Amino acid sequence: MANEGSGQIGKVVQIIGPVVDVEFSDNYLPPIYQALRVTSEGFDVETKVDVIAKCSSTLAKAAFVQFRCCRPTVWSAG
């Protein structure tokens, strides 16, 4: 996982529903509402999460905002 602006790299350590725990090294944490790009080696996955909380000096909680592998569902009224 890379922070698009600063080049910092974190590691996804837990996913529960739409919430992702991301661990960073060197006492770096992105600011609240910072968008993070999530990629995976060996899988065709690319999504974005927004930081919603800082849990410790190296752990941030983020929430999914976009997921590329899914097609949007179109609902019609009536």
Q: Given the DSSP bridges, would you call strands 19-24 and 59-67 parallel, antiparallel or unpaired? A: antiparallel
Task: Catalogue all structural domains in the chain, each as residue range(s) with its CATH number.
Answer: 10-67 (2.40.10.170)
Per-residue model confidence as pLDDT tens digits over 53-68: 999 989 999 998 765 5
pLDDT at 5: 54
pTM passes above 0.75: no
- The token pair at 4 is 């698009």
Positions in the chain short of pLDDT 70:
1-6, 66-78
pLDDT at 3: 47
Q: Given the DSSP bridges, would you call strands 10-16 and 46-54 parallel, antiparallel or unpaired? A: unpaired
- The token pair at 62 is 């983020």
- The token pair at 44 is 């065709």
